[in-house]
Structure 1
Amino acid sequence: MSAPDTAPATDGPGRPRGGDTTAAGRRPSGAAADLRLLRSELALVLSRRRNVVMLVVLALLTALVGVGVDLATSDADPGTGGGPPFLASLTQNGLFLAFASLTASLPVFLPLVVSVVAGESVAGEASSGTLRYLLVTPVDRTRLLVTKFVATVLYAAVAALAIAVTGVLVGLVLFPVGDVVLLSGTTASYGEGLLRLAAVTAYATAMLTTVAALGLLASTLTEVPVAAMSATAIVVVLVQITGQVPQLSFLHPWLFTDGWLRFADLLRDPVALGGVGDGLLLQAGWVVVLLAAAWARMTSKDVTS
């Protein structure tokens, strides 16, 4: 993996990042200061070349799935019914490409890109020597930690949205578009299908908040960004493997990956909110624990770089 992109410690000449001043020369305080710091952090996250490339790759993978399905069904022998059954059902409505792509990306690709962004959040600042500068501007450590977590979650939302939007656009080009047959067998309009896709995208983002918190914790434990990224990704993989071991079934309800694919309940009529609610509650619990650990480390950390 290449060396991490480093962010400048300032927004402009003589102005530390997140430390904009008013016309009177005073630093803004309260919500205004928090918003400016978040805006600055989010701009840096979204402008890093590696992060932009990861978004493009996610979109290209989604498009590749659509093209692959289209070629597989068009090249199939007509006497076989148009290809494998799951491919035939996918091509009944282009909107399902977005759902299928989110389903395929959530266990692997989305956690990986979030691990990269979260793992670099604090360790990257320490590695480049800007963390100490940020903390003496001054930026409160708790405020900085929360800002980096929110920025990472927003990046996760952009990543999930990139997959969803690409799926919709490619689906419009390659496959039929019309009413959506839900998992319960009822039919919904295409517009309602888009609303349900938005809900699924939001749920997928919520599932990634734990990965963001885990990466942030790992990032406070080291000054090597690659180590934090790798540790986060490895933990996510190990948790998913644990979730597939029958002998450890007593642990499964407590694993943060347990409810990742429960967004299928959002594609039923009526919507089954029980599983979705349990998944969100599980993520919230893990986020609180991991952020508390990251906060304890961050506030007691001796920043020397």
Structure 2
Amino acid sequence: MPSDSADALSIPTARSAPAGGSSLSLLASELKTLFRRRRTVAMLVALAAIPVLIAVAVRLSSTVPPGRGPAFLDRITQNGLFVAVTAMLVSVPLFLPLTIGVVAGDTIAGEASLGTLRYLLVAPAGRVRLLLVKYAGALAFCLAAPVTVALAGAAIGASLFPIGPVTLLSGDVVQPPEAALRLLLIAAYLAVSLAGLSAIGLFLSTLTVVPVGAMAATVVVSVASQIAGELPQLEWLHPWLFTHYWFGFADVLRQPVLWDSFASNALLQAAYIAVFGALAYGRFVTKDVLS
């Protein structure tokens, strides 16, 4: 997906001043540019629309048959907070990876396609520092995306359905404030889950000057990993797939919270970050930047 023309015009001006300053200035400039883009705003709005669609559909329907549709769907009418849980569950396989693929795939390739990459390096931002800042921006979006779904889900759920004590998967009951905290923990879990995919997208972005190619490749890798995770013939490979623990956030809905899957997921994503971060570094520091 190419960058907006308005973004293309604004980037050189927005980046030129802080690029030669501290890493924090460069990071602040990157985050400001990222979250002011119409494309980024549009993706966050689209993610927020997912829980709204779910809530409205449930509200307008007479009944939700137990066991039909996504998990927790039949609990929404009893407690509106389950809108957020259901929406995050629905978003994991495609919608969240799609938006992450767009952001991560655009990190380096987007600058190259706009002709601003060499200006950032001349500044002197330094290749390593620029790579780290770009990845930090992608990580910020990894957090913003699931948090957007969670907040939109909680808001629309509270508007259309009653809010009360939440019965967890373990059978225990928690009050709404604690349930809201667990929603944020689920969002944090998903942010960690998407960190490995962002590192893959960052590496792919260093391979091309066409951001659409890096974006599409990142999404395809995500889909391929999920498909491989469903094949029993590849069971030996499952623990090594970066998507293996994506649905492990159900452990946050138990009392007490089971942190094993959280730790295993973080360790797996850290391995992907290390491997693909090193590949991105090796490619980027030796790359001839012509645009």
Q: Which one has the largest radius of gyration?
A: 1
1: CA distance, partners of 2:37 / 2:101: 15
Counterpart of 1:209, as a letter, is: A
1:264 is matched with 250
1: CA distance, partners of 2:259 / 2:285: 38
Gaps of 5+ in 1: 20-26, 76-81
Aligned partner of 2:54 among 46, 56, 65: 65
Secondary structure, counterpart of 1:118 in structure 2: helix
Secondary structure, counterpart of 1:83 in structure 2: coil
2:65 is matched with 84
1: CA distance, partners of 2:144 / 2:37: 14
Aligned partner of 2:41 among 39, 52, 64: 52
Counterpart of 2:161, as a letter, is: F
Q: Which aligned runs of 4 or more in structure 1 are off by greater than 6 angstroms?
A: none
Query: 1:228-260: per-residue Cα shift (whole Å, max 9, x none)?
Result: 101111111111100011100000000000001
1:10 is matched with 13
2: CA distance, partners of 1:140 / 1:93: 51
Matched, 1:277 2:252: no
Secondary structure, counterpart of 2:217 in structure 1: helix
Secondary structure, counterpart of 1:163 in structure 2: helix
The 8 Å contact of residues 121 and 127 in structure 2, kept in 1 or not, is answered as yes
Matched, 1:245 2:231: yes
2: CA distance, partners of 1:102 / 1:287: 23
Matched, 1:224 2:233: no
2:90 is matched with 104
Q: What's the Cα RMSD here?
A: 1.3
The 5 A counterparts of 1:1-305 are: 1=1, 3-5=2-4, 6=8, 8-11=11-14, 16-19=16-19, 28=21, 33-72=22-61, 75=62, 82-86=63-67, 87-305=73-291
Normalised by the length of structure 1, the TM-score is: 0.90
Cα displacement (A) at 1:155 = 1.3
The 8 Å contact of residues 17 and 37 in structure 1, kept in 2 or not, is answered as no
Cα displacement (A) at 1:71 = 1.4
Counterpart of 1:10, as a letter, is: T
Gaps of 5+ in 2: 68-72
Secondary structure, counterpart of 1:127 in structure 2: helix
Count of aligned pairs between the two proteins = 282
2: CA distance, partners of 1:121 / 1:259: 25
The 8 Å contact of residues 18 and 36 in structure 1, kept in 2 or not, is answered as yes
Secondary structure, counterpart of 1:263 in structure 2: helix
Query: 1:152-185: per-residue Cα shift (whole Å, max 9, x none)?
Result: 1101211111100000001101111110101100
The 8 Å contact of residues 58 and 64 in structure 2, kept in 1 or not, is answered as no
2: CA distance, partners of 1:285 / 1:149: 15
Cα displacement (A) at 1:4 = 2.1
2: CA distance, partners of 1:161 / 1:101: 11
Cα displacement (A) at 1:17 = 4.6
Secondary structure, counterpart of 2:106 in structure 1: helix
2: CA distance, partners of 1:69 / 1:205: 27
Identify which range, 201-210 or 272-281, moves more after superposition: 272-281
Counterpart of 1:265, as a letter, is: D
Identify which range, 84-93 or 291-300, moves more after superposition: 84-93
The 8 Å contact of residues 4 and 226 in structure 1, kept in 2 or not, is answered as no
Normalised by the length of structure 2, the TM-score is: 0.94
Counterpart of 1:16, as a letter, is: S
Cα displacement (A) at 1:214 = 0.8
- Percent identity over paired residues: 46
1: CA distance, partners of 2:236 / 2:90: 26
The 8 Å contact of residues 17 and 40 in structure 1, kept in 2 or not, is answered as no
Cα displacement (A) at 1:39 = 0.6
1:78 is matched with none
2: CA distance, partners of 1:274 / 1:208: 18
1: CA distance, partners of 2:262 / 2:123: 42
